[in-house]
Every structure is written in C-alpha cells, then in structure tokens.
C-alpha cells in the first residue's frame, strides 16, 4: 500500500493501518497497540486524532484508529523495530516534504464540520467577492438609468390620456381584474386609488399606450427601469384584454410618435 497523506482537521497525517502496511506488519492492527503504549510520548508532538474504525467483513468489534503527523509517524517507525523501518522513515520524510512544497495532493480528507467550513470559505470567497462587485455595478447602473429617466422626464412633457383611454382602462380593471391592480395584483384601485401609467412613453396618450395601476407600482415604474421592464408581460396581458373588449383603437398615429393634436383631447399634464 502506497504511503499517502490525509488531511485531518486541516493538518496532513498518515493513517495508522497504511503505516503498518509499509512497515510490513503481519497483523497491521498491531500498530494500534504500539500507538497506545507510546501515546504519552506521541502526544508530545501534537494532538493524536482518533476515530472509530468499522469492523472487518468477517466480524469483530469496532476498533480505534489513529492519524499520525510526521513526527509521530517517525517515532512509531523507531519503536516498531521493523526490518524496513529506515526505508519507511525516508519515505515519510519525502512525502511530508513534498506536501509542504505543494507537490502532493492529499489522498482524502476526514469529513468534519471544520474541514467543510474551511473548504466552503476557500472555494466561495472569490464567488462572494464577484457577486458583491456585480451588485455594486448594478446599483451604479440603476442610479444612472434613474438619472437619465429623470432628465428625460424634465425634457419631454407628459400628456394626459384621452378621455376614451381612461374609460377603457377603468372598464378593463373593473371587469377583468375585479378592481385589482393589473401590475401587482395586490392593491385595489377603487375610490380613486389608481393612477394612469404611460408605459410606452409619457408623450403617448391613446388606449394602447398605457394602463391603470396602483400608486405604488406607478411610482416604482417611474424610478426603477428594471422593475418596469419586468412588468412588460403584465402590460401586454392588460392590453390584450382591452383589445378583446374595445378593439385595437386608433393606434397608427401614436405608434409613429406623432400624438393627436385635437384640442378636446389634449388634457392637462399628468
């Protein structure tokens, strides 16, 4: 059996039975008796992690297994009086030196909460940093979008919806949404709580250009471009229901960006 290193509680160690195999013990489990006899001296060189080994397929009681650090493994070699102890000591030194120089990957690691936590922190730390950087960048972009929206809001005048558009919006909300906000479906729009939202542009005023929403949704769409984009599907559903009730309406003018100029429908700025 090749001499391999395991990480136990973050420290490279050798399993007792692997060391016994390398030393040529006829009964490898005898090494555990040797470890227990020399336990006080072994603990001079560090802690002596142990666990419960499962019995062999032939039966027997569970035994205690040990993981030895470099100094402890060398001491056991000396105390064993094995024929090939010198060769094994040389192998131990080479393996641990290779480990310290990063030339050796541990064969396996003891699964402990500490080991899992260390691995979790090591692997996810760069990811966490990247997520934080992305969140900061998104926040900066969101601020820029909000600023641009406000500047456009100052330049382009808001035109009030036509009387017919308002009538259609209200009918759709009452008949198809039971007076719920079609944007969030959480707020009631009765008693003048709703606001007419220019979803397709503040300068457009026909039925196909907007809808009736609650005040909270209206304000959020005016200040949060990402939120507004996320409500596109809800707006399209509202417009489909409106078309089923009232038809397409006079959409050709405003879709080309040339609002109606009739004095009766101009309305006040919203």
Proportion of the chain above pLDDT 70, given as a percent: 74
Q: Is the dihedral of CA 37, 38, 40, 42 positive or negative?
A: negative
Reduce the DSSP state of residue 141 to 3 states and report it. Answer: helix
pLDDT given for residue 146 in this prediction? 62
- Are 104 and 172 part of one and the same domain? no
- Are 169 and 109 part of one and the same domain? no
- Are 20 and 110 part of one and the same domain? yes
- Are 105 and 205 part of one and the same domain? no
Q: Across residues 56-60, what is the average pLDDT?
A: 57
Per-residue confidence band for 111, with pLDDT thresholds at 50, 70 and 90: very low
Query: Strand pairing partners for 64?
Result: 52
The answer to whether position 203 is within a domain reads yes
Q: What pTM was estimated for this model as a whole?
A: 0.39
**CA neighbor of 218 nearest in space, from 249, 240, 187:** 187
The answer to whether position 77 is within a domain reads yes
- Are 172 and 91 part of one and the same domain? no
Q: Across residues 16-39, what is the average pLDDT?
A: 91
- Are 10 and 108 part of one and the same domain? yes
- Are 102 and 177 part of one and the same domain? no
* CA torsion, ordered 144, 146, 148, 151, to nearest 10 deg: -140
Q: Between residues 127 and 45, which one has the greater pLDDT?
A: 45
The structural domain count of the chain equals 2
The answer to whether position 83 is within a domain reads yes
Domain extent at residue 222: 163-255
**For residue 43, what are its two tokens?**
């603990």
- Are 10 and 80 part of one and the same domain? yes
Q: Is the pLDDT of residue 85 over 90?
A: yes
């Amino acid at each position: 059996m090749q001499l391999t290193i395991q990480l136990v509680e973050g420290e490279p160690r050798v399993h007792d039975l692997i060391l016994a195999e390398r030393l040529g013990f006829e009964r490898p489990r005898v090494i555990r008796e040797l470890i227990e006899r020399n336990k006080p001296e072994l603990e001079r060189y560090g802690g002596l992690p142990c666990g419960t080994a499962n019995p062999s397929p032939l039966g027997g009681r569970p035994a205690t297994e040990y993981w030895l650090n470099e100094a402890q493994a060398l001491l056991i070699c000396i105390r064993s009086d094995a024929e090939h102890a010198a060769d094994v000591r040389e192998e131990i030194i080479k393996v641990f030196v290779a480990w310290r120089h990063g030339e050796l990957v541990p064969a396996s690691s003891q699964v402990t909460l500490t080991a899992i936590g260390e691995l979790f922190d090591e692997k996810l730390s760069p990811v966490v940093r990247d997520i934080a950087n992305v969140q900061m960048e998104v926040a900066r972009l969101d601020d820029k979008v909000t600023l641009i929206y406000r500047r456009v809001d100052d330049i382009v005048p808001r035109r009030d919806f036509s009387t017919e558009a308002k009538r259609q919006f209200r009918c759709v909300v009452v008949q198809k949404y039971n007076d719920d906000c079609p944007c969030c479906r959480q707020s009631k729009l009765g008693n003048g709580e709703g606001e007419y939202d220019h979803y397709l542009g503040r300068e457009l005023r026909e039925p196909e250009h907007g809808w009736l929403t609650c005040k909270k949704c209206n304000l959020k769409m005016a200040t949060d471009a990402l939120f507004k984009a996320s409500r596109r599907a809800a707006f399209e559903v509202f417009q489909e229901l409106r078309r089923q009730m009232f038809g397409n309406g006079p959409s050709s003018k405003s879709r080309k960006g040339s609002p109606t100029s009739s004095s009766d429908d101009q309305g006040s700025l919203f």
